Structure 1
Amino acid sequence: MLASASRNRHRSAMETYRPRRSVLYVPASNDKALAKIAGLACDAVIIDLEDAVAPADKIAARGKLAGILANRPASGCEIVVRINALSTEWGADDLLAAANCQPDGILLTKVDTPRDLLEAGDVLDDNFAPDSVKLWAMIETPKAMLNIGAIAELGRDPASRLNCFVAGTNDLAKETGVLATPDRRYLVPWLMQMVLAARAGGLDVLDAVTNDFRDLDGFARECAEGSAMGFDGKTVIHPAQIEAANRAFAPSAPALAEARQVTDAFALPENQGRSVIALNGRMVERLHLTQAEKLLAKAAAIGA
């Protein structure tokens, strides 16, 4: 019975898991970049109405959303719309337009408190957006960092729609005066806090962009560090960065082999009902089984 339950949990994880190893920002105003989406290997695309669109072009870019979403790639690539902050002159109309287009998610910028997400969720509910339209939150302000625990807790309530955190270190550095060094040494404590809060709220969390898209070696190092810190993936600004992100945030062959050993061991008749077993000379608990099942579901989802 326990082995059957384990298989069911693994099957459920495979059905619900969405890989977000590489998440590409594409300006809604850039027709050339939009046309290339279908041929890219990224797990998700963020159609950007905010930083990547000049103020004079924002209304026109918003008007293109319906056409962009109507012609979304058949590959199943997740499509998210990043809107301007709700405090700006464009934010409210951006939210309504995005809700009507029914993307997979809407990325809220300049989130400061849980109320920002709750109010956005109310707008989606009032405009009959289906539950499948999730909310993502940019963590990019000092207030967001101070309130990050309360914000993340919304992830435990499906009604909030909150599904994912996105690190916004460029804005954090700008608003705090922290020096953004190549090794991100002064930003790492905040990045780790984002990961911790996301896990407490049952959320995915994406590492911030690397601004120098020409430095692919530096980008690969940052991806490896982000994976080691516990991020689920990385936001990218150029197609050349996708391959390195996909590779860094995919389960490694040794990790998959170990995960299979753990699941196979717990499935043995003599281990059914046991909370702790010995495997290869070390203690393995059921929490390790849960981790192993999640890793295998991730691998299955990306074909690893």
Structure 2
Amino acid sequence: MSAADANATRSPSPPSRAPRVTRTVLAVPAHRRRLVESAARSAADAVFLDLEDAVPEAEKAQALDAACAALRELDWGGKTVSVRVNAADGPLLNGEIARLGTLDRLDSLILPKAERVAEVARLGQALREVGRARNRGPLELELLIETALGLVSVETLAQADERVRALHLGVGDFAGSIGARSAEIGGSPAGYRQTTCEADGGYLDTPLDLFAYPMMRLLVCARAFGLRAIDGPCGAYRDERLTRGWAARAAAMGFDGKQVIHPSQIEATRDAFMPSADELAFARRVVNAMRDAQTEGKGAVSVDGKMIDYANVRMAERMLALAAHGAL
């Protein structure tokens, strides 16, 4: 099925107040109240309370109670607030939906290890049934793609339910899923490099990016179906250079944001997703120049010595639209 055909059959997306700003998505264990309170006060654009991998099995029930209390009691400001629920094939999800699906302050649920269309569709239907008690709009779904099966199925998963509004790449579990020998969450294995023999007889080792393919596949799928694309975290949260560099990679590719696992990563990650004043000024010149060219019947124009056409204009308009919504 083509993207055009899929969009033709897909139900309309839930109404949105404005494009969500999710440059920085801070993950926090739901059962750690002090950390949750810190997340609510943080400068992150979005927070997700984790009920899954960050919570020991013995504390799952406590974590759900704590998440519900935090959503009712804390001031989250203008943040997007999500909860990462437990896996669709486990025994906890139904209870989590029943408790969380009625809470007004919750914006979305993040489904981990999304792999099967039927599971996503079933979750969407369950939210429709419990969501009538909400005073806000429909609760959104965000899919965490973190296995080989999830990645090869990502196009069908993106269309599984009208509530699906974002795709996240789970870099740690994905690396494990394919058997990669990674020592750092979000980083490429030291041995993943291309060795070449140079003309002078010497050898050159070129590091390769393990995540170039999964990132691009997820991003292209998100753009095809009008979803947000969120990159996984940099596990080296104490390393500002890695944090900033890996965020800059995702931003340059076109991702909407990146997960962070510590508040110290928020500023560097946010800055990587913010175009500079020069970039915004150039975007305005592009839009204005093309507007003038249109009045003269031209389809392309030169700006600062560069040939500009409508593709450039669309990129410039997206950047300026985010700025208009206070995202930059």
Q: Which category of TM-score, normalised to the shorter sequence, fits these structures?
A: 0.7 to 0.9
User: What are the superposed Cα offsets for residues 72-99 of structure 1, whole Å, 9 maximum, x if unpaired?
Assistant: 4352011011100021121221222221
Kept in 2, the 8 Å contact 1:26–1:33? The answer is yes
Are residue 125 (structure 1) and residue 149 (structure 2) matched?
no
- Aligned partner of 1:7 in structure 2 is none
Distance 1:73 1:274, change over 3 A: farther
Gapped regions of structure 1 (runs ≥ 5) = 1-13
Between 1:94-103 and 1:37-46, the stretch displaced more is: 94-103
- Aligned partner of 1:276 in structure 2 is 299
| Displacement of 1:272 | 4.1
Mapping of 1:258-273 within 5 angstroms?
258-268=282-292, 271-272=294-295
| Displacement of 1:173 | 1.5
- Aligned partner of 2:228 in structure 1 is 204
Q: Which has the larger radius of gyration?
A: 2
Are residue 298 (structure 1) and residue 301 (structure 2) matched?
no
Question: Take 1:278 and 1:265, find their aligned partners in 2: how far apart are those partners?
Answer: 7
Kept in 2, the 8 Å contact 1:24–1:237? The answer is yes
Gapped regions of structure 2 (runs ≥ 5) = 1-15, 189-208
- Aligned partner of 1:3 in structure 2 is none
Kept in 2, the 8 Å contact 1:131–1:161? The answer is no
Kept in 2, the 8 Å contact 1:275–1:286? The answer is no
Distance 1:15 1:56, change over 3 A: closer
1:18 to 17, 20, 27: 20
Determine which structure has the larger helix proportion and give its number. 1
Given residue 125 of structure 1, which amino acid in structure 2 is its aligned partner? R
Kept in 1, the 8 Å contact 2:290–2:301? The answer is no
Question: Take 2:91 and 2:121, find their aligned partners in 1: how far apart are those partners?
Answer: 20
| Displacement of 1:132 | 3.3
| Displacement of 1:131 | 4.1
Kept in 2, the 8 Å contact 1:65–1:97? The answer is no
Given residue 116 of structure 2, which amino acid in structure 1 is its aligned partner? T
| Displacement of 1:263 | 2.0
Are residue 149 (structure 1) and residue 155 (structure 2) matched?
yes
Which SS does the other structure have where 2:258 is aligned?
Answer: strand
Mapping of 1:33-112 within 5 angstroms?
33-102=35-104, 103-112=106-115
> Once superposed, which parts of structure 1, at least 4 consecutive aligned residues long, lie more than 3 Å away?
129-132, 272-275
Which SS does the other structure have where 1:65 is aligned?
Answer: helix
| Displacement of 1:276 | 1.5
Distance 1:265 1:71, change over 3 A: farther
Which SS does the other structure have where 2:311 is aligned?
Answer: helix
Percent of aligned positions that are identical: 30
- Aligned partner of 1:251 in structure 2 is 275
Kept in 2, the 8 Å contact 1:140–1:169? The answer is yes
Kept in 1, the 8 Å contact 2:37–2:74? The answer is no
- Aligned partner of 1:114 in structure 2 is 117
Which SS does the other structure have where 2:301 is aligned?
Answer: strand
Between 1:107-116 and 1:94-103, the stretch displaced more is: 94-103
Question: Take 2:101 and 2:298, find their aligned partners in 1: how far apart are those partners?
Answer: 45
TM (norm. structure 1) is 0.87
User: What are the superposed Cα offsets for residues 93-133 of structure 1, whole Å, 9 maximum, x if unpaired?
Assistant: 12222212241110011110222221111001111356431
Question: Take 2:75 and 2:296, find their aligned partners in 1: how far apart are those partners?
Answer: 45
Given residue 236 of structure 2, which amino acid in structure 1 is its aligned partner? D
| Displacement of 1:59 | 0.7
Given residue 30 of structure 1, which amino acid in structure 2 is its aligned partner? R
Kept in 1, the 8 Å contact 2:112–2:144? The answer is yes
Are residue 139 (structure 1) and residue 145 (structure 2) matched?
yes
Distance 1:274 1:117, change over 3 A: farther
Kept in 2, the 8 Å contact 1:37–1:73? The answer is no
Which SS does the other structure have where 1:107 is aligned?
Answer: strand
Which SS does the other structure have where 1:302 is aligned?
Answer: coil
| Displacement of 1:246 | 0.4
Kept in 2, the 8 Å contact 1:104–1:134? The answer is yes
Kept in 1, the 8 Å contact 2:26–2:39? The answer is no
Which SS does the other structure have where 2:110 is aligned?
Answer: strand
Question: Take 2:178 and 2:283, find their aligned partners in 1: how far apart are those partners?
Answer: 41
Distance 1:166 1:274, change over 3 A: farther
Are residue 221 (structure 1) and residue 245 (structure 2) matched?
yes
Which SS does the other structure have where 2:144 is aligned?
Answer: strand
Kept in 1, the 8 Å contact 2:33–2:66? The answer is no
Question: Take 2:36 and 2:230, find their aligned partners in 1: how far apart are those partners?
Answer: 22
